């Protein structure tokens, strides 16, 4: 029986411990490393060459989606599963486009993660049944991709900046956190305001905070 070597990237130690304990009980699954940030995860992936990486979207130094893109761009990329509290309808398709092969909501992780890991490791894709149906309906033109908040129109980077603004970070703090220039963050802020039809920075901050408060 082939053993799947797994790297866990999540900034919450308790979550990492829970995932490690759950997955380590399976004879065909082995944890080869744990990381609390995207930078640490990328470094460990290069050192340990895991078969599969479990990634959270909200990481302290950059979005998990950016980490997925970096992992997927490697010469021998691992299989990737996103495990997140974020809205699956907003993030699952983004995750797949970034290079992930599965998406599991954290509230369903106890029940579904082992199955998702095995299926993705075997070369399949994994989404919840509800998300699969939603994507099929969108593809068939029977469901709208436009959400009530308009946040769905933002690019991955714009959404990341929008989320950080909602967490109360200043432009300079966002730039430092994402290792980008202040000018680049200001450009993303302007794009977000235009896409969400916001007139000024106060409206941007208010909308970002309101959106962040609705997130798990």
Residues 45, 87: one domain?
A: yes
Do the Cβ atoms of 22 and 113 come closer than 8 Å?
yes
Q: How far apart are CA 59 and CA 171, in angstroms?
A: 18
Residues 34, 123: one domain?
A: yes
User: String of b and e for 114-139 (b: at least 16 CB within 10 Å)?
Assistant: bebbbbbbeeeebbbeebeebbeeee
Q: How far apart are CA 159 and CA 58, in angstroms?
A: 12
Residues 190, 84: one domain?
A: no
Is 144 a domain residue? no
Is 146 a domain residue? no
Instruction: Indicate the pTM of the whole model.
Output: 0.82
Which of the 8 DSSP states describes residue 76? S
Residues 205, 110: one domain?
A: no
Residues 162, 59: one domain?
A: no
Last-in-domain residue among 114, 139, 164: 139
CATH number at residue 182: 1.10.10.10
Is 145 a domain residue? no
Residues 172, 130: one domain?
A: no
Which of the 8 DSSP states describes residue 59? -
Domain span at residue 31 reads 4-139
Q: Would you write out the chain's pLDDT as a tens digit for each of its 216 residues?
A: 689 999 999 999 999 999 999 999 999 999 999 999 999 999 999 999 999 999 999 899 989 999 999 999 988 999 999 998 887 778 888 999 999 999 998 777 677 899 999 999 999 999 988 787 767 776 666 555 444 458 888 999 999 999 999 989 999 999 998 889 999 999 999 999 999 999 999 999 999 999 888 776
Q: Domain tally for the chain?
A: 2
């Amino acid at each position: 029986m082939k053993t799947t070597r797994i790297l866990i990237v999540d900034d919450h130690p308790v979550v990492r411990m829970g995932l490690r304990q759950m997955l380590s009980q399976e004879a065909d699954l082995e944890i080869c490393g744990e990381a609390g940030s995207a930078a640490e995860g990328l470094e460990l992936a290069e050192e340990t060459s895991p078969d599969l990486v479990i990634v959270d979207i909200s990481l302290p130094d950059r979005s998990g989606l950016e980490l997925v893109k970096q992992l997927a761009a490697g010469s021998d990329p691992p299989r990737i599963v996103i495990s997140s509290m974020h809205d699956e309808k907003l993030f699952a398709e983004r995750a797949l486009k970034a290079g992930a092969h599965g998406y599991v909501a954290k509230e369903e992780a106890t029940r579904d993660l082992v199955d998702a890991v095995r299926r993705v490791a075997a070369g399949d894709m994994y989404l919840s049944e509800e998300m699969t149906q939603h994507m099929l309906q969108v593809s068939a033109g029977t469901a709208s991709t436009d959400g009530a908040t308009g946040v769905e129109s933002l690019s991955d980077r714009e959404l990341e900046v929008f989320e950080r603004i909602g967490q109360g970070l200043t432009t300079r703090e966002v730039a430092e956190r994402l290792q980008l220039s202040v000018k680049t963050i200001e450009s993303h802020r302007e794009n977000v305001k235009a896409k969400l039809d916001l007139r000024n920075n106060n409206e941007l901050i208010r909308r970002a905070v309101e959106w962040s408060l609705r997130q798990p």
